[in-house]
């Protein structure tokens, strides 16, 4: 069923902004969130990055601004500077298209604090920022939290991972109890539950669960076999020709090292991780938006929530630590009906996680890269499956072994010999059945 922005109670001004943004129809989460937010309801929105979540809350929030009152009315809290900058970039685009001007400020660390404080002599309508710097400005009395009517906490599960939820708690504690609170998160971990119960009264829980394993996403496993990661990425890239490839590693040191190796091999590679200085981060984000790099090496925490356009392929240069992280990574491609491929290089130690991923319904294609071609290989757990089959045959054979009525010396050895003969026959029978079935088909 098709939905339209015109069916919501939005102002003509906002409908014009939406048209200028070239949005034709609302995404699933936008259709669920916008009417609820306009009604002033508290919301828990659960969805992956790339579902249109940012504008799901920006559209109703900016629509509700009272421009006659020069005070902070809307606040958006993000866990990382990169994500805050990205959200603020979208706010600025909407501001450019608005005929009635509203004011907005970005409040993040790594900037000139005194200069930023001076700008708050005139209160903006919208504040976007990170928890630590927003709390700092509240303590400096530059931000008056009591004037806020709606607050968004974005990527809440990442706030938990980074240990920032206590700072968000202090910010919300200073707001009025009836402030509209919208929390967005890809997952709802147990550690987040007390926070949600404390601040969200009768929330509308909106779950968009069709993004975790897109049908247009292919998952490929490639054994690393002690080869250099940069070499593997270069050889694989010759086969897949990515438009933009996002390459994940687990540590920022590894990201820098891998980027240097890729640059030496002639690949245009950018990097994004928590160790970048503020200026480097800002420049890198601008370069990513401008599609300057075909390859981007990233860590999980730094890249969470950042929407990098046009990602056609994901490389798991290093296997993630858990199922959720894998889901976050591969969710960066195969969006909006487009196709995508996730190529994961694995080692022996990664096999338990691969097994867990298969239990979620992910079907891996097993390949290696040899002499410039894709070479199908045996499944990663082929040995384990073969062992399981052996165990089944073992059990079946033991059931058919005749137990002696009288126990005599050497009876155990005779039983084992009989079991082995039965087992051989069972294997032959199984092969014959498989052969006959193959001929019929």
Question: What pLDDT sits at residue 384?
Answer: 55
Residue for token pair 């590693």: 249
Of 62, 50, 51, the C-alpha closest to 18 is: 62
Question: What pLDDT sits at residue 407?
Answer: 63
Question: What pLDDT sits at residue 367?
Answer: 94
In a domain, 196, yes or no: yes
Contact between 222 and 367 (Cβ < 8 Å): yes
Spatial separation of the C-alpha atoms in residues 441 and 439, rounded to whole Å: 5
Which residues, other chains included, contact 119 with Cβ-Cβ below 8 Å and sequence gap of 6+? 105
Spatial separation of the C-alpha atoms in residues 126 and 84, rounded to whole Å: 13
According to DSSP, residue 347 is labeled -
DSSP string, 198-231: HH-SS-EEEE--SSSS-TTEEEEEEE-TT--HHH
Burial 250-289 (b: 16+ CB within 10 A, else e): bebebbbebbebbeeeebebbbbbeebeeeebbebbeebe
- Same-domain check for residues 135 and 267: no
Output the CA angle 22-243-370, nearest 5 degrees.
Answer: 155
- Same-domain check for residues 367 and 407: no
Spatial separation of the C-alpha atoms in residues 269 and 261, rounded to whole Å: 10
In a domain, 24, yes or no: yes
Which residue numbers in the chain have pLDDT < 70? 1, 49-50, 209-215, 302, 305, 336-337, 380-391, 393, 405-411, 428, 430-441
pLDDT by residue (tens digit) across 327-343? 888 988 877 667 899 99
- Same-domain check for residues 116 and 250: no
In a domain, 32, yes or no: yes
Contact between 328 and 51 (Cβ < 8 Å): no
Question: What pLDDT sits at residue 212?
Answer: 47
In a domain, 212, yes or no: no
Domain-ending residue, one of 326, 345, 376: 376
- Same-domain check for residues 73 and 199: yes
Spatial separation of the C-alpha atoms in residues 93 and 141, rounded to whole Å: 28
Spatial separation of the C-alpha atoms in residues 345 and 74, rounded to whole Å: 44
Supply 409's token pair: 């010396």
User: pTM for the complete prediction?
Assistant: 0.74
DSSP string, 241-310: --SSEEEE-SSHHHHHHHHHHHHHTT--EEEE-TTS-HHHHHHHHHHHHTT--SEEEE-HHHHTT---TT
Domain-ending residue, one of 175, 207, 239: 207
Domain interval for residue 282: 217-376
- Same-domain check for residues 190 and 243: no
In the chain, how long is the greatest CA-to-CA distance?
A: 101
Supply 280's token pair: 């480097």
pLDDT by residue (tens digit) across 26-46? 999 999 999 999 999 999 998
CB atoms within 10 A of CB 437: 9
- Same-domain check for residues 390 and 342: no
- Same-domain check for residues 276 and 145: no
Domain-ending residue, one of 327, 351, 376: 376
- Same-domain check for residues 117 and 56: yes
Domain count, the chain: 3
- Same-domain check for residues 306 and 402: no
Burial class (CB in 10 A: 0-12, 13-18, 19+), 58: buried
- Same-domain check for residues 225 and 168: no
- Same-domain check for residues 411 and 267: no
Q: What is the mean pLDDT of the chain?
A: 87
Contact between 145 and 138 (Cβ < 8 Å): yes
Q: Which three-class secondary structure state does DSSP give residue 184?
A: strand
In a domain, 15, yes or no: yes
Here the CATH number for the domain that contains residue 121 is 3.40.50.300
Spatial separation of the C-alpha atoms in residues 355 and 350, rounded to whole Å: 9
Distance from chain centroid for Cα 180? 26
Question: What pLDDT sits at residue 360?
Answer: 83
- Same-domain check for residues 251 and 148: no
- How far is CA 23 from each of CA 16, 20, 208, rounded to the nearest angstrom? 10, 8, 19
């Amino acid at each position: 069923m098709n939905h339209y922005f015109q069916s919501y109670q939005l102002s003509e001004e906002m409908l014009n902004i939406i048209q200028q943004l070239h949005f034709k129809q609302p995404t699933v989460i936008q259709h669920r969130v916008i009417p609820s937010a306009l009604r002033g309801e508290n919301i828990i929105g659960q969805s992956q990055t790339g579902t249109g979540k940012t504008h799901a809350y920006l559209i109703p929030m900016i629509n509700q601004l009272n421009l006659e009152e020069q005070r902070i009315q809307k606040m958006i809290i993000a866990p990382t500077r990169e994500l805050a900058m990205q959200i603020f970039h979208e706010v600025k685009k909407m501001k450019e298209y608005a005929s009635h001007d509203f004011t907005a400020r970005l409040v993040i660390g790594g900037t000139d604090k005194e200069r930023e404080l001076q700008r708050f002599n005139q209160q903006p309508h919208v504040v976007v920022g990170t928890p630590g710097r927003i709390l700092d400005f509240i303590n400096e009395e530059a931000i008056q939290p009591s004037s806020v009517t709606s607050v968004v906490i974005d990527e809440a599960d990442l706030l938990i991972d980074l240990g920032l939820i206590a700072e968000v708690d202090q910010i919300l504690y200073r707001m009025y109890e009836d402030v509209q609170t919208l929390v967005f998160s890809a997952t709802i971990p147990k550690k987040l539950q007390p926070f949600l119960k404390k601040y969200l009264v009768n929330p509308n829980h909106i779950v968009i669960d069709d993004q975790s394993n897109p049908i247009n996403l292919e998952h490929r496993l490639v054994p690393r076999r002690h080869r250099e990661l940069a070499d593997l990425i270069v050889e694989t890239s010759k086969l897949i020709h990515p438009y933009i490839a996002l390459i994940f590693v687990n540590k920022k040191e590894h990201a820098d090292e891998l980027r240097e190796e890729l640059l030496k091999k002639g690949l245009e590679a950018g990097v994004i991780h928590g160790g970048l200085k503020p200026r480097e981060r800002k420049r890198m984000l601008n370069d990513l938006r401008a599609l300057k790099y075909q390859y981007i090496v990233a860590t999980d925490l730094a890249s969470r929530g950042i929407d990098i356009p046009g990602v056609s392929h994901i490389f798991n240069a290093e296997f993630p630590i858990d199922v959720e992280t894998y889901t976050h990574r591969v969710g960066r491609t195969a969006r909006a009906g487009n196709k995508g491929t996730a190529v994961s290089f694995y080692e022996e130690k990664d096999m338990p996680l691969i097994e867990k991923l298969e239990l979620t319904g992910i079907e891996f294609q097993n390949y290696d890269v040899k002499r410039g071609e894709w070479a199908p290989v045996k499944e990663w757990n082929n040995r384990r499956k073969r062992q399981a089959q052996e165990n089944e045959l073992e059990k079946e054979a033991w059931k058919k072994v005749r137990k002696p009525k009288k126990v005599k010396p050497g009876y155990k050895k005779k039983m084992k010999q009989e079991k082995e003969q039965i087992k051989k026959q069972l294997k032959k029978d199984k092969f014959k059945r498989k052969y006959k079935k193959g001929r019929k088909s």
